């Protein structure tokens, strides 16, 4: 009876008369949802969203265009043309699949490996290149390191380097949207490594208690920067079913990655609805992890109270290195990388799906690969020709009215360059 239930504030459990320690290693993890096998066959016809050919082609072309851009910019970094780069190999499907499920006005907070979301929204190749080169056409005016894209017009918040800082920021934006009663949602991308940061757990709790319109999207590629998941947390990365790391039995839906060091009672209090999606074997882009196309209740709409904030936990393989500053062979085998690249690549599986429907053939593949490479190279060459932003921009865009100390510093720099300009590559900069 209700009178016999615990009356502790904030508790919704029941009493237990027998002491029982629930061991997490004997509990099954949350099942991983998939629609398609490795050969491009839909496993259950009722789960096929029957997307139109035009949308599937857009998804495929966005993925392959991103892949082409990655290859060219990665090689350009190795040649010393840009300072840094991060590829998206193997994770392309998580980008375009989730982007396709969002409304164009939904606000995106990325981590640093979500270029495909921006590309799907129509961000030009020329601006990708300009940002990586830090030239005068870069909307960020050359102040950010490469791959830190941003675009207010496409509702994509500029990337920042510190891990997990975007999570509480995204929750704050979602709360502001809720207070404004705007018909928008926020999606926040992060990796399983970032979820170990304190900012992540603070953000999760704020989102749940304030019932914010936000979708959390965790990309678990298994290694964070260089740490295998077996060393990051205990469990499968999502939730073990109930009661993990707690003496109180009966806590179902242990969501996302709280079980790395959160007790189940605290995790459950966060009140999220987890989705586990097998991206490498699930024909990633056409069947997004929170698709408005075919889920009975899409994660994007789940935030409406009393529904909990949805959490999509996807398993994309990171086929490339973490970045150009990383050598992934130090912490994983080359055979593992080759397996994902040759046997379980999302682009290959999407192509199989289209071929089975007569939507794509070898001739179209060759023509598209050639034209996409040409587009990327043209944007690349244009970015190389562009000059760098003028040095005076070091002092602008911080204060509405520049304080006297900054005006003095700017004047000092100008005098210095006038006197010693021959020692600097000023010809590479705008005047």
Catalytic annotation, residues: 75, 161, 322-323
Rounded Cα gap, residues 170 and 176, in angstroms: 10
Q: Where are the alpha helices (DSSP H) in 357-430?
A: 362-385, 404-420
* Beta carbons of 339 and 102 less than 8 angstroms apart: no
Q: Facing residues of 309 across strands?
A: 272
Structure tokens given for 53: 């050919």
Closest to 255 measured CA to CA, from 232, 315, 241 = 241
Q: Tell whether the torsion through CA atoms of 126, 130, 132 and 138 is positive or negative.
A: negative
Rounded Cα gap, residues 82 and 384, in angstroms: 10
For 70-167, strand residue ranges (E) read 107-109, 156-157
Q: What separation in angstroms does the CA of 143 have from each of 70, 150, 227, 381?
A: 21, 12, 30, 21
For residue 130, the surrounding DSSP H or E stretch is helix 125-133
* Beta carbons of 218 and 193 less than 8 angstroms apart: no
- Using DSSP's 3-state secondary structure scheme, residue 363 falls into helix
Rounded Cα gap, residues 119 and 193, in angstroms: 25
- The secondary structure of 99-128, three-state, reads HHHCCCCCEEECCCCCHHHHHHCCCCHHHH
* Beta carbons of 61 and 285 less than 8 angstroms apart: no
């Amino acid at each position: 009876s209700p009178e016999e239930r615990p009356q502790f504030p904030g508790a919704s459990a029941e009493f237990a008369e027998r002491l029982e320690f629930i061991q997490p290693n004997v509990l099954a993890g949350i099942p991983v949802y998939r629609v398609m096998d490795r050969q491009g066959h839909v496993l259950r016809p009722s789960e096929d969203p029957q997307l139109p050919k035009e949308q599937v082609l857009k998804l495929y072309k966005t993925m392959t265009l991103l892949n082409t851009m990655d290859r060219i910019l990665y090689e350009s970094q190795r040649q010393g043309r840009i300072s840094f780069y991060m590829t998206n190999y193997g994770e392309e499907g998580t980008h375009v699949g989730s982007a396709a499920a969002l409304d164009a006005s939904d606000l995106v907070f990325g981590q640093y490996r979500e270029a495909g979301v921006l590309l799907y929204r129509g961000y030009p190749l020329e601006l990708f290149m300009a940002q990586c080169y830090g030239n005068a056409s870069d909307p960020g005016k050359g102040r950010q390191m490469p791959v830190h894209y941003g675009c207010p017009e496409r509702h994509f918040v500029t990337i920042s380097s510190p891990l997990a800082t975007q999570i509480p920021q995204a929750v704050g934006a979602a709360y502001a949207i809720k207070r404004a009663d705007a018909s928008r949602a926020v999606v926040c991308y992060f990796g399983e490594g970032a979820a170990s940061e304190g900012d992540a757990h603070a953000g999760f709790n704020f989102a749940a208690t304030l019932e914010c319109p936000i979708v959390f999207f965790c990309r678990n590629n298994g290694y964070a920067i260089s740490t295998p998941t077996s060393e990051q947390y205990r469990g499968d990365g999502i939730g073990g079913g109930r009661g993990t790391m707690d003496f109180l039995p009966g806590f179902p839906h242990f969501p996302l990655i709280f079980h790395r060091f959160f007790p189940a009672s605290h995790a459950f209090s966060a009140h999220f609805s987890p989705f586990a999606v097998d991206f490498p074997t699930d024909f990633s882009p056409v069947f997004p992890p929170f698709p408005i196309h075919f889920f009975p209740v899409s994660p994007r709409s789940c935030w409406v109270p009393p529904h909990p904030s949805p959490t999509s936990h996807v398993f994309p393989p990171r086929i490339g290195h973490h970045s150009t500053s990383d050598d992934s062979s130090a912490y994983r085998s080359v055979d593992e990388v080759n397996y994902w690249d040759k046997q379980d690549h999302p682009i290959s599986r999407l192509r199989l799906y289209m071929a089975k429907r007569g939507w794509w053939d070898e001739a179209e593949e060759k023509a598209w690969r050639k034209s996409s490479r040409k587009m990327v190279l043209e944007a690349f060459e244009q970015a190389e020709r562009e000059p760098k932003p003028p040095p005076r921009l070091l002092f602008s865009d911080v204060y509405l009215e520049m304080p006297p100390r900054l005006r003095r510093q700017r004047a000092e720099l100008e005098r210095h360059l006038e006197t010693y300009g021959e020692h600097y590559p000023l010809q590479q900069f705008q005047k």
